[in-house]
Amino acid sequence: MEIKIQELHNRLTILLINSESYSHLYDWLNLDEEELLNDIKSYVHLYEGEITKNELQEEIESGLSSLMEFYENDWTVYIYDQGNEKEVRLSEAMSEKKVSRFRCDWKLIDLKAEWDVEVLKLSDEEDDFTLGDYYTDYQ
């Protein structure tokens, strides 16, 4: 089974954006889909060649966890506390407002049912679809 790296990043971005776990962070992160895609590409490192399903799923989880850590520790957001707006780190806002991290443990079957195979080949071929074309797959 061959998977285009660009398609995997695109699908992961749209799946995350449409997930309930991300919806609670949407306003604070204030990222458009292209910005989130670029952040995911920076943290979920994929290279051409053979990879097992478990290795790929571990890379996705590790990369997204690191990205969430970056957001928690390096982003500041505004929250209201007793009627006053204050700027805090995202992690503090999440703690005060009891908001969880976004989901990081996506399985290949979540991205595309056909990808649920033991060994895959990642390719650097260009994806024929745009990022927005994947919205209909995850609604």
26-81 pLDDT, tens digit per residue, is 999 999 999 999 999 999 999 999 999 999 999 999 999 999 999 999 999 999 88
Evaluate the CA torsion angle 118, 124, 128, 129 in order and state its sign. positive
For residue 11, the model assigns a pLDDT of: 96
Does pLDDT of 132 surpass 90? no
Give the helix/strand (H/E) hosting 80.
strand 76-81
Per-residue pLDDT, 83: 87
Does the structure show a pLDDT above 80 at 115?
A: yes
pLDDT reported for residue 82? 84
Enter the pTM of the model: 0.93
Residue span of the structural domain in which 115 resides:
2-138
Q: Report the pLDDT value the prediction gives residue 60, as an integer from 0 to 100.
A: 98
Query: 77 in helix, strand or coil?
Result: strand
Q: To 10 degrees, the CA torsion angle through 74, 130, 122, 38? A: -10
Question: Which residues in 90-102 are b (16+ Cβ under 10 Å) and which e?
Answer: bbebbeeeeeebb
